[in-house]
Amino acid sequence: MSAKKFVGDGGFDPSVTVEARQTRLELSAHTVSIHKNGIEFRSPTGFSEWSEMTVTLQSPESDYKVTCHGVIIACTGNRHSGYHVSMIFTGLTPQAERQLAMIAHSPFGMG
């Protein structure tokens, strides 16, 4: 996950849902970068590395949702400027892998 560009207008809408034990975030598509094996996002909340999380992505082009479980591998920033969070997906089903690969190689993702 080396890309620095985030998904812009026309990306996932209305939002991306990120959940950790006591936290649930609805993130704007402008703050998310989708990869075939993970996701990067800007967050007002910091997360501990190695925390497990669940991410739900919904395509604006169809009604399907992809729910992925993963682990935070990096979280940098502070409470004043926000955090840049990198998460790698774990235990993806073959169907979720195909959907993420399509997204990652579309204008909405980063490859």
Delineate the domains of the chain, giving CATH numbers in brackets.
16-103 (2.40.10.220)
Q: Give pLDDT tens digits for 37-50.
A: 899 988 888 999 99
Q: Give pLDDT tens digits for 71-84.
A: 999 999 999 999 99
Per-residue pLDDT of the chain (111 residues; tens, 9 = 90+): 333 333 444 444 446 666 666 677 777 767 788 887 899 988 888 999 999 988 887 665 666 678 889 999 999 999 999 999 999 999 998 988 888 777 766 555 544
Run of H or E including 96: helix 94-104
- The span from the CA of 25 to the CA of 53, in Å, is 11
Is 100 in a helix, a strand, or coil? helix
